């Protein structure tokens, strides 16, 4: 952090936002105590996935795109295989779909537990890190230890099905290279049952936090299904009446490049035109746990709905700081779903469905821990990629995060610089931003003029 003072402009600056995945910064510009503009800048260096994947085989997409993000590789693999399977007209049997859902539950548990306990909870206690939090009292150390154990059991699901927790090796177009036996999966059950209880404790703990008083009129967007809490597939829905198929996504959402960021911004549009509204935040929307829980909680497992009903936090909520509660209820959902999937598991007749490469275009969306992840591929008749588009959740949330910062900025101006920095970072971490994903870095800078 550095403070710079000149006659006309005062700048407060955090060189790198902490406890997020990747690198970013932001600027708040003030003139006569009025907020002029905010910019969330993502300076994570670009890695050009969409370019170097041209000329690669579509069957390589799950392993290559996994490397976009070490926190949510399964999400990349799932969106990738589903998009390619659409081109190749592959229909996987329900047993393979169930295994994919189980694998995804493992990643939700791992990623959400990491964010709740190691990245976000320290903000509610004004601690630098979870490590500092754990040292501050035996009780808090117990909480952190519980979170780490929950995370481990999520990783164990991914390891069992995927081979390893980061960049699993077992996912392929058409299914898996090898599928687990009933006995292998059932060995996970005792720890997952412990995890389900721990998730209930987690929900009660985080719901007892003091939440800053802040709400806005959000558009929440998520996949939806009528028969389950959507993770792998569904219809794209919002609380403002949007209801489209995943193929229609480009007709309703547009990516834009802005000078201050290496991540492309997403904005909701209508018939290819920006939605009416004079401000530059027009068409901003939120994806992720809060959007999903607000939209889909009726489809959550009974145990999660019961636990939610007894919490002091009411849903739907338009307070982004309460996303940590939605995240905890999703961990509970994931543990419970994983247990049921394992109890009902029958190995598929064959680990994967055979296929022939063909030319075509396919798009798919799945719910990464941080929100909708869109992949679109075009192949030639030998199955070589000729076009690749990937829209990660953090790109979609970027404009919405800027609007939150814009709205809290007048309050930040009144605070000492150190506190203003922290409050701004806190608001950004509500979204669990994954900046590695979004570029395919964060600095706080308040300019007072």
Partner 1 sequence: MGKKPRVGVFKFASCDGCQLSLLDCEEELLEIADRVEVAYFLEATRLPLTGSFDLALVEGSISTPEQVEQIHDIRARSRVLVTIGACATAGGIQALRNFASVHEFLRLVYATPEYVETLATSTPIADHVPVDFELRGCPVNKTQLLELISATLAGRRPNIPRHSVCIDCKRAGITCLPVAYGVPCLGPVTQSGCGVLCPSYNRGCYGCFGPAQLTNVQGLVQAYRRAGVPEDELDRLFHTFNAWAPGFRESTRPVPKETEGNTEH
The residue ranges that bind partner 1 (CB under 8 A) are 1, 15-23, 44-48, 50-52, 54, 56-57, 60, 63-64, 67-71, 73, 114, 118-119, 128-132, 134-135, 141, 144-145, 148-149, 151-152, 155, 163-167, 169-170, 172, 177-178, 256-259, 262, 264, 351, 422, 425, 436, 440
Helix intervals (H) in 163-301: 182-186, 189-207, 249-252, 289-296
Smallest separation, CB 71 to partner 1 (Å): 6
Q: Which is nearer to partner 1, 127 or 244 (CB)?
A: 127
Smallest separation, CB 195 to partner 1 (Å): 13
Structure tokens at 400: 């919405």
Smallest separation, CB 388 to partner 1 (Å): 9
Q: Which is nearer to partner 1, 261 or 366 (CB)?
A: 261
Q: Which is nearer to partner 1, 130 or 232 (CB)?
A: 130
Whether the bond into 262 is cis, omega within 30 of 0: no
φ/ψ of residue 365, rounded to 5: -125, 135
Q: Which is nearer to partner 1, 49 or 281 (CB)?
A: 49
Q: Which is nearer to partner 1, 154 or 283 (CB)?
A: 154
Using CA of residue 288, residue 24, residue 320, residue 157, what is the dihedral sign?
positive
Q: Which is nearer to partner 1, 42 or 338 (CB)?
A: 42
The number of CA neighbours under 13 Å toward the Cβ of 46 is 11
Smallest separation, CB 85 to partner 1 (Å): 18
Contact 220, 290 (CB under 8 A): yes
Classify residue 18 by its DSSP letter: -
Using alpha carbons, select from 142, 137, 134 the residue that is nearest to residue 201.
Answer: 142
Q: Which is nearer to partner 1, 154 or 288 (CB)?
A: 154
Cβ of 30: how many Cβ atoms within 10 Å? 20
Classify residue 377 by its DSSP letter: E
Smallest separation, CB 148 to partner 1 (Å): 4
Contact 376, 49 (CB under 8 A): no
φ/ψ of residue 361, rounded to 5: -130, 140
Contact 143, 199 (CB under 8 A): no
Structure tokens at 174: 């058409």
């Amino acid at each position: 952090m550095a403070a710079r003072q000149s006659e006309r402009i005062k700048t407060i600056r955090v060189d790198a936002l902490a406890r997020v995945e990747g690198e970013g910064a932001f600027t708040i510009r003030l003139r006569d105590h009025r907020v002029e503009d905010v910019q969330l800048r993502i300076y994570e260096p670009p890695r050009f996935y969409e370019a170097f994947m041209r000329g690669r085989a579509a069957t390589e997409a799950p392993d290559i795109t996994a490397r976009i993000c070490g926190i949510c590789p399964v999400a990349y693999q799932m969106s990738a295989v589903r998009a390619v399977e659409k081109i190749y007209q592959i229909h996987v049997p329900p047993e393979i779909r169930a295994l994919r859902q189980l694998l995804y539950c493992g990643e939700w548990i791992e990623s959400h537990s990491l964010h709740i306990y190691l990245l976000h909870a320290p903000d509610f206690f004004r601690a630098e890190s979870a490590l500092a939090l754990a040292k501050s009292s035996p009780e808090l150390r117990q909480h952190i230890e519980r979170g780490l154990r929950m995370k481990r059991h999520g990783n164990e699901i991914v390891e069992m099905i995927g081979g390893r927790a980061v960049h699993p090796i077992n996912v392929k177009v058409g299914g898996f290279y090898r599928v687990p036996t009933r006995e292998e999966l059932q060995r996970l059950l005792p720890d997952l049952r412990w995890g389900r209880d721990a998730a209930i404790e987690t929900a009660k703990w985080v719901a007892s936090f003091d939440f800053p008083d802040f709400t806005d009129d959000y558009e929440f967007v998520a996949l939806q299904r009528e028969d389950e809490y959507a993770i792998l597939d569904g219809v794209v829905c919002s609380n403002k009446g949007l209801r489209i198929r995943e193929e229609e996504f480009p007709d309703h959402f547009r990516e834009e490049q802005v000078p201050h960021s290496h991540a492309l911004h997403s904005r909701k549009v209508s018939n290819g035109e920006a939605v009416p509204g004079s401000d530059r935040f027009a068409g901003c929307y939120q994806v992720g746990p809060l959007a999903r829980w607000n939209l889909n909680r009726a489809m959550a497992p009974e145990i999660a709905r019961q636990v939610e009903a007894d919490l002091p936090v009411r849903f739907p909520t338009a307070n982004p700081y309460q996303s940590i509660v939605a995240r905890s209820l999703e961990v509970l959902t994931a543990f419970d779903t994983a247990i049921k999937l394992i109890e009902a598991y029958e190995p598929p007749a064959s680990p994967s469905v055979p296929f022939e490469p063909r030319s075509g275009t396919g798009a798919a969306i799945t719910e990464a821990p941080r929100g909708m992840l869109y992949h679109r591929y075009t192949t030639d008749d030998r199955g070589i990629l000729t076009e690749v588009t990937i829209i990660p959740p953090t790109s979609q949330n970027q404009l919405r995060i800027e609007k939150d910062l814009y709205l809290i900025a007048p309050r930040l101006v009144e605070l000492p610089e150190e506190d203003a920095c922290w409050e701004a970072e806190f608001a950004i971490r509500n979204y669990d931003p994954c900046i590695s994903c979004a570029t395919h870095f964060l600095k706080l800078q308040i300019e007072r003029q």
